Amino acid sequence: MKQGSTFSRIIWKLIVSVILGVLMYFGSGAVGFPPAFQWMFVSYVGLGFLVFLLLDAPPLPRLSGWPAGVALLLFYALLSGAYIWGASAWPQYDPEVEKGKIKKLLKRKLERFQASQGRVDDLLQQVKALEGASAEVLARLSNFAPVMATPASINLPEGRAMTVVDRGREVYELYECYNCHKLGGKGSVKKRGPALDNIGSFLTVEDIKRKVFDPTYLYAEGFEKEHKGGKGKMPDKYKELMTDEEVMALATFLTTLKNPMADPPTPRPVFVKSNVEHGFIVFGYVRDAAGKPVPGIEVHVMPKKKGGHDAKGKTNVSGYYEIFMHMHNEDVGVTVSVSAQNSTKEFVTEYDPNDKVTKRQKSLDLVIPSAS
Ligand code: HEC
């Protein structure tokens, strides 16, 4: 009875061990262990089975004396032998060989990575090539259809005018005209010069060009004092600084400014015919007895002083004349005679020698009794 139960217990342990072994094998395989490890786990189950068998083994007779020592040594040799055999029974691994294998694995991965990088490089190159091609196509398109270019394109006749005006605005900013002039209510905090919002209603491109290059050419009405001098005087440095292209663009830009409603308003320009300090202008109309204008007639002006020079001019179709006389500050009070044919008039020059701004001039009409 005791024998049978021992046998059935061994069978029972065997069955459990086989089930455990099978579970171990597939379980470790499922988790990703290589076959060698799968078998190693199975062998552990086998070892466990052996240990449990030993538990059921009948007790050995008690030994003493030297047989006990011999038995101990035998047992030790048996265990050692079992271990050595077990260890050598398993497949052996050389670390160098393993390193080589790992290197090979990594190399293949690296190669695959580099290959994919190469593809990326290829793609980038293709993108570049496409970009080049599209730029070429755009360039060719713009040859055919300039309208496709930017709005400020110089290919458009209207665009060209736009560009000059824009350029003029740029020159205006560049030379800081805004320091003394207001435009659209902006600039000239110190109110030195007039607002220019309506200057295009008064001045031509040529006028503005001359004013910028020679500020004495004209002055803004009401700004005589500023024109004369002082801190806020318009500088006369632009002639040296500006190129022809710049002053043309600037003048073109300013002639586009035509806002009569601007506040503050743009003052009218007063033309200075010549440097007032050295000149005096006599102007007026020559008519016949019937009041009809006499065109093409010669008019003479003569300062009645020692060394005075005769100056002359001719009337235009309207019978209007304008004669510039050379006259200095000290010539104030000199009598001047004006004559056309047999008609003569005289006047005395009146001006403030210290006023270097206000035009020195005299309006004088002549009547010719008998037009030929
Ligand atoms: C330092 C101040 C100052 C600067 C800078 C200046 N101006 Fe003037 N400007 C004046 C003053 C003051 C007047 C009025 C007196 C005169 O006409 O000389 C004037 C008058 C003018 C007038 C005549 C306006 C009118 O209503 O008749 C024009 C045009 C003009 N300036 C254009 C310009 C331009 C263009 C620039 C820039 C390149 C400029 N100015 C820079 C002070 C300045």
Q: Look at residue 148 and tell me whether its pLDDT is greater than 50.
A: no
State whether 166 and 185 are in the same domain.
Answer: yes
Most confident of 80-94, 131-145, 243-257, 311-325: 243-257
Residue 177 CA, closest ligand 1 atom number: 37
Q: Percentage of the chain with pLDDT > 90?
A: 37
Give the pLDDT of residue 143: 60
State whether 249 and 355 are in the same domain.
Answer: no
Taking only the tens place, the pLDDT of each residue in 94-110 is 788 888 888 887 887 88
Give the pLDDT of residue 277: 65
State whether 249 and 286 are in the same domain.
Answer: no
Taking only the tens place, the pLDDT of each residue in 193-244 is 999 999 999 998 988 999 999 898 899 999 988 888 777 789 989 988 999 8
Of 334, 310, 335, which is closest to residue 324 (Cα–Cα)?
Answer: 310
Cα 355 to Cα 276: distance, rounded to the nearest angstrom: 9
State whether 162 and 184 are in the same domain.
Answer: yes
C-beta 195 within 6 A of ligand 1: no
State whether 247 and 353 are in the same domain.
Answer: no
Taking only the tens place, the pLDDT of each residue in 334-351 is 999 999 998 999 999 988
State whether 267 and 296 are in the same domain.
Answer: no
**CA 226 / ligand 1 centre spacing (Å):** 10
Give the pLDDT of residue 150: 37
Q: Look at residue 144 and tell me whether its pLDDT is greater than 70.
A: no
Answer whether residue 128 is part of any domain: no
**CA 245 / ligand 1 centre spacing (Å):** 19
State whether 162 and 265 are in the same domain.
Answer: yes
Q: Look at residue 23 and tell me whether its pLDDT is greater than 80.
A: yes
**CA 192 / ligand 1 centre spacing (Å):** 9
C-beta 220 within 6 A of ligand 1: yes
The pairing of beta strand 279-288 with beta strand 361-363: parallel
Q: Look at residue 310 and tell me whether its pLDDT is greater than 90.
A: no
CATH code at position 211: 1.10.760.10
Cα 140 to Cα 234: distance, rounded to the nearest angstrom: 50
Domain boundary among 271, 288, 316: 271
More confident residue, 279 or 152: 279
Q: Look at residue 298 and tell me whether its pLDDT is greater than 90.
A: yes
CATH code at position 339: 2.60.130.10
Give the pLDDT of residue 156: 41
Answer whether residue 142 is part of any domain: no
Give the pLDDT of residue 146: 45
Taking only the tens place, the pLDDT of each residue in 347-360 is 999 888 877 767 78
State whether 184 and 259 are in the same domain.
Answer: yes
Cα 317 to Cα 297: distance, rounded to the nearest angstrom: 10
Taking only the tens place, the pLDDT of each residue in 109-118 is 888 888 887 7
Residues 6+ apart with CB under 8 A from 298: 312, 313, 314, 340
Give me the number of domains the chain comprises.
3
Q: Predicted confidence band at 301 (pLDDT cuts at 50, 70, 90)?
A: very high
State whether 312 and 213 are in the same domain.
Answer: no
Give the pLDDT of residue 211: 94
Residue 233 CA, closest ligand 1 atom number: 12
Answer whether residue 78 is part of any domain: no
Answer whether residue 122 is part of any domain: no
State whether 162 and 255 are in the same domain.
Answer: yes
6-27: average pLDDT: 92
**CA 233 / ligand 1 centre spacing (Å):** 8
**CA 304 / ligand 1 centre spacing (Å):** 38
**CA 229 / ligand 1 centre spacing (Å):** 12
C-beta 181 within 6 A of ligand 1: yes
Q: Look at residue 55 and tell me whether its pLDDT is greater than 50.
A: yes
280-284: average pLDDT: 89
| Residue 94 one-letter amino acid | D
C-beta 168 within 6 A of ligand 1: no
**CA 179 / ligand 1 centre spacing (Å):** 10
C-beta 262 within 6 A of ligand 1: no
Residue 250 CA, closest ligand 1 atom number: 35
173-179: average pLDDT: 92
Answer whether residue 100 is part of any domain: no
Task: Pick the residue whose CA is nearest to atom 16 on ligand 1.
Answer: 219
Domain boundary among 29, 55, 81: 55
Domain boundary among 271, 303, 320: 271
Cα 169 to Cα 250: distance, rounded to the nearest angstrom: 7
State whether 249 and 280 are in the same domain.
Answer: no
Cα 78 to Cα 86: distance, rounded to the nearest angstrom: 12
Provide the token pair at 255.
């002639």
C-beta 299 within 6 A of ligand 1: no
Task: List the domain range (segments joined by +) for residue 334.
Answer: 276-368
State whether 307 and 237 are in the same domain.
Answer: no
Return the best residue to mutate from 165, 181, 224 for the ligand 1 pocket (most ligand atoms within 8 A of CB): 181
Answer whether residue 104 is part of any domain: no
Give the pLDDT of residue 178: 93
Q: Look at residue 3 and tell me whether its pLDDT is greater than 60.
A: no
C-beta 187 within 6 A of ligand 1: no
Answer whether residue 169 is part of any domain: yes
**CA 194 / ligand 1 centre spacing (Å):** 7
**CA 263 / ligand 1 centre spacing (Å):** 17
Q: Look at residue 131 and tell me whether its pLDDT is greater than 80.
A: no
**CA 219 / ligand 1 centre spacing (Å):** 8
| Residue 28 one-letter amino acid | S
Answer whether residue 244 is part of any domain: yes
Burial class (CB in 10 A: 0-12, 13-18, 19+), 190: exposed
Residue 195 CA, closest ligand 1 atom number: 26
**Residue 215: cis peptide before it, omega within 30 degrees of 0:** no
